[in-house]
Structures are given as structure tokens and as C-alpha cells.
Amino acid sequence: MQFSINLVGKSIFIGAGPGDPELITVKGLRYLKNADVVLYDRLAPAELLSFTKPGAECINVGKEYKGLTVPQSTICEWIVEHALNGKTVVRLKGGDVSFFSNIVDELEACIANNIPFQIVPGVTAANGCAAYAGIPLTARGIASGVRFLTLHQVNSLNNNTWAELAKTSDTLVWYMSGNTLAEIANNLHAHGAKNLPIAVIKKGTTPEQQVWISDIQTIVAHCHLPQFVSPSLVIVGEVVRLHHKYNWIIKNIQTQYKV
């Protein structure tokens, strides 16, 4: 089905995928090519900006972990300003637009100013990075469900939640949690999970992808862990054991680790 949409004076939210520029959708790329203004995240593949039309204004609004960042209020103001000037504004986000992003703030800004908008979903880091690491997020007889979580501060989850997570057979996918790996392992271990395997995928779906494999017991026993550069995704669950069987990435562009 072909939708007929007037793109003048509107905002389009596009998921750019987790790193590999070819993972953007056909629809997302088509709208990107017609944008007058592109507000792009740090994790959106830079190669995609080469597809913008001549004269398009591309503005980096990416956020750095513990670094310089463009305030969310400023991003919302720029979306509104350019759209009200009759321009097609593309908000290009890494991964999918709705997973642990600030899309609600930006959608509310559009609604408050009567700006038409459209949401174009993208490949989120969970399924993109897992696929490029050969880890099925669900597998018959191993895991029938998957949960998407994030942990910036260990106190953000209470003991009851940790206890439930430690007992579930669901795959646990932790976004932006490479720096909280020890806290995740320690809390799951304290609530009964001992031998569950853990994968940390750094710079997933890119030529720099690295996959680090360990388990909760081993991580808890070690005082020093590798420092993972953002973006890093943490996967906890029995499906991680399938990595060694289904890993399809060429070996010379992937390094595997074991504590």
C-alpha cells in the first residue's frame, strides 16, 4: 500500500538501526532523502547523512555518556522551530525511535504546536546486535520470552524485581548497561541466579563489533572487569550459549573474550 503524505512542515521520527547503515528501512531512507533538516543522534550511522539532498541542514544533537550533550529541551525547540518554518524535519535516532529514547518529549512538543508527525520504526539494538552475534533472543525449549531493560543506577530496581528477574527463563536484554555489568551480575547472583551466561556486545552490527562472553558466577568472583565503550548491550540468559554455534560474523572482525 502506498500512502500519500504531504511532507511539508512536519516532523518524521526515523529509527536508523543499531550501527550498520544498511539496516535502515526502505521507508526511513526514502524520507531521509527528502528532509530539509536532519537532527541526528550520536549513535545514528554517520554514513546515512550522505543520502540527504543538497542543501539539507544536518545537526548533531547526540548525547554522550557523562559528556557534552544537547539539552532535550533544545532538541524539542529546534524540531518545532524548523517545522513551523515549513520545513520537513527528520529526527534520526539510533536503533528504534521508541526504545529508551526521548521520543515522548519530542512528540509532545509536536502536538503542543500542531505539527504533523510520523513515526518510522527501526531495528533496535536488542535484535540487531543479538542477530549479529548469533544469539537468538528466544529459542524453543530455552527461552520463550525476552525483556528489554536499562540500568543507569543500581537502586532503580527494588529487591522484589531483582528476585523475579533472577528466576525468570526469559532472556534479559539490558540497554546502555556495559558500565553497570557488575551491578547486574551481583544483584542477579544475590537473588539466586548463579550460572547464567552473559554476553556483552560492544559496537554491535559494525565492523568494530566485539562480543565478550562470561557468566554471573565468574563475573561476581572477579574484582576487575573490562571497560566497555558505549554503545554496549548486555544479554543475560541461556540463549547466550548458542553464540558459539550460530556466530556467523567473519572471525577477523570479531574478538571474543572470556573472563
Number of C-beta neighbours around residue 233 at 10 A:
26
Let me know if 105 is a catalytic residue. Answer: no
From residue 128, alpha-carbon distances to 21, 24, 125, 151, 158 in Å are: 12, 11, 5, 20, 29
Which positions ≥6 away from 204 have C-beta within 8 Å? 18, 19, 125, 128, 129, 132, 133, 231, 233
| Pair type for strands 232-236 and 171-175 | antiparallel
Sign of the CA dihedral with 259 first, then 242, 182, and 19 last: positive
80 sits in which H/E element: helix 72-84
Let me know if 41 is a catalytic residue. Answer: yes
| Residue of 36, 41, 96, 215 with catalytic role | 41
Active site positions, annotated? 41, 63
